[in-house]
Amino acid sequence: MSDLPQSAHVLPRPSRTSRPRAESAPVTVPPFVPWGGPPPAPGRPGPLNGLRLTVKDVIDVAGLPTGAGHPRWLETHPPAVSDADAVVALREAGAELVGKSHTDELAYSLNGTNAHYGAPANPAAPGRACGGSSSGPAAAVASGAADLGLGTDTAGSIRVPAAHTGLFGYRPTHARVSRTGIVPLAPSFDVPGLLAAGLGTLRAAAACLLGGAVAAGRTVRLHVPPDLWAVVSPRIGAALAPALRRLTASLPIDRTPVFEGDLLCWERTHAAFTAVQAAQAWDVHGPWISRERPEFGPGVAARFRAGSQVTRDELAPAAATVAAAAGRVAELLAGGGVLALPTAPAPAPPLPTRPIALSPFPGAPPSAEPLSAPLPVSQPGSPSGSPSGSPSVSRSGSPSVPSLFGGSPPVLPPGALRATTVRLTCLASLAGAPALSLPVAHLDGLPLGLSLVAAPGQDEALFDLATVAMPQTPATPAQDARTLGR
C-alpha cells in the first residue's frame, strides 16, 4: 500500500505551451496521470478496506483536476470541489484512492490510445492496446498497481478493456448508479463501472456502488444468438465455448436471433445507436469544442464532426430505432433470460508503432476512421448452415462451434474493429441493462472476454451466474471435444 506509483502523486498541470504533442508522445505510458493522485492515506473501515482504488480521469476527485484525456480540457477546467458520487460510495466503504488514471480523449474511443499522452501499456498483452476508454484503470489493475478500477461505460468502455487485459468488467444497470461528478459523453448511455482482477472483489465493490443489494432474480435460460456470434472467427468461438458449456450444464439454451431473419436490422440498430451517441456527445461537448478549437486524434475528431452534423430529422427516427431495439432486448431477457455474447470480436489489437497524428477540429485527415463500417459477412458453406464462427447447438443442447481449427482471429482496421465491437456492446447500453465481461479464455496467449447481459435491475443475478461460467477445474480435452461437437 505504501508503494504508491510516483506518477500518481499530485504534480503541476502542464501549461498549454508545454503540453504533450503527438510528435513527442510515447507509444506507451504508465497508467496513472501525473496530476491525479493524493498522498497515501489509510482507508476507512468498511467492506473495501485495504483495496487500492484508481479512478478514470473523467471522474471527479475533490481537490484534483479532471483532465478528461485532453490537455486543453485540463487547462480550461478548475479542480473538482467534491468527489463524484461513485467515488464517495467506494471511499466510504474503505477503498483507498491511489491515483487517477488515463482515458481516451473525452472518453470517446474504444481504442485505449490517446493522441496527446500515449497509450497505457497492457500487462496482459504486451505491445497491444488495453482498449478504451477506461484504458488507465484497466492497465493499473492488470499490472497490480491497483485492486479496483472505477471507470465509465457508454458503448463498452469498461467491458472492452476488461476483455483485452484479462479482467472482470462490470457495467451496472443504468438507473441504479449516480453519474453526478462525471464528465458526460452520451448521458442516455453513460454509467460508471468497475474493473477488478477477481470476481469477489468486483462483487463487493459493486454492492457498494449500487448502495445495497436487491434480491437476485432466478436465471432460467441462456441466450446464445447466432446473429451476434456470426461476427467472430471460429477460433474465438471455440475458445469461448467451454464457458458456454459450463453455463448450459444447468441452463437451457435459446438460440433465437436478436434480430430475427434480417441482419440489416442489426445494421440499422448500430447506425441508430451511433447517431444518437454522436448527437448527444456533440450536445455535451460542442460548445466547448467550438470555443476552444482543440486538436483530436483522427477517430475522435471524425466522431465529433459526425455528431455536429446529425439533424433533428435524422435524430428522431434514430432514437425510435434505439427504443425499439431496447424493447427487443427487454423482451428476450424478460422472465430470467441472460444473453451470452463475445465481449469483443477480436483480441486486443497491436498498438500503433508511430505517434497518432493530431487533427484540429473540425478537420480530419482522409485516413480518419469512419463513424460506421459494414458488418463482416458470414462465410458461405459454414457447417450445418451456421454463420461462420457462430456457436451451433448439438442435439443434446450443448453449444458447439464449427471449424475449430479453421481461420485466425480477425485483424480488422480500426474503423471496422470499432464498428463491429459496438454492434456487440451497444445492446446492453441502449437497453440500460447490466453486463459483466468475464476473462474466461485466451487465444494465442491473448485474453478474451465473454459478456453476460441481464434485464435491467438484475445485476445480482449476473454475479450469481458468473461464478458458474468461470472455470473451477480445467476441462479435459475430451470434455471440450464433446462440447464442440467433435
Q: State the catalytic residues.
A: 56, 133, 157
Determine the Cα angle at 459 with ends 45 and 55, to 5°.
50
Q: Treating both helix axes as pointing N-terminal to C-terminal, what angle do 298-308 and 414-431 enclose, rounded to 10 degrees?
A: 50
Helix (H) or strand (E) holding 366: none
Q: DSSP H helical segments within 69-196, as ranges?
A: 71-76, 85-92, 135-143, 159-165
Residue 254's DSSP bridge partners are 223
Look at phi and psi of residue 99 and say left if phi exceeds 0, alpha if psi is from -120 to 50, else beta: left
Amino acid at 48: L
Alpha helices in 349-390 (DSSP H): none
8 Å CB contact between 412 and 346? yes
Residue 14, C-alpha cell as written in the block = 502542464
Report the Cα–Cα distance between both ends of the chain, in Å, rounded. Answer: 49
Element (H, E) at 145: none
Grid coordinates of 164: 483485452
Angle between helices 85-92 and 199-210 (to 10 degrees): 120
Q: Is 485 left (phi over 0), alpha (psi -120 to 50) or beta?
A: left
Work out the number of other CB atoms within 10 angstroms of the CB of residue 277: 29
Contact 86, 181 (CB under 8 A): yes
On whether the CB atoms of residues 410 and 136 are closer than 8 A, the answer is no
Q: How far apart are CA 458 and CA 460, in angstroms?
A: 6
279 residue type, one letter:
A
Spatial separation of the C-alpha atoms in residues 116 and 18, rounded to whole Å: 12
- Joined together, the cell numbers standing for residue 245 give 458449456
- Residue 432 in contact with residue 174, Cβ under 8 Å? yes
What phi, psi does 463 have (nearest 5°)? -65, -35
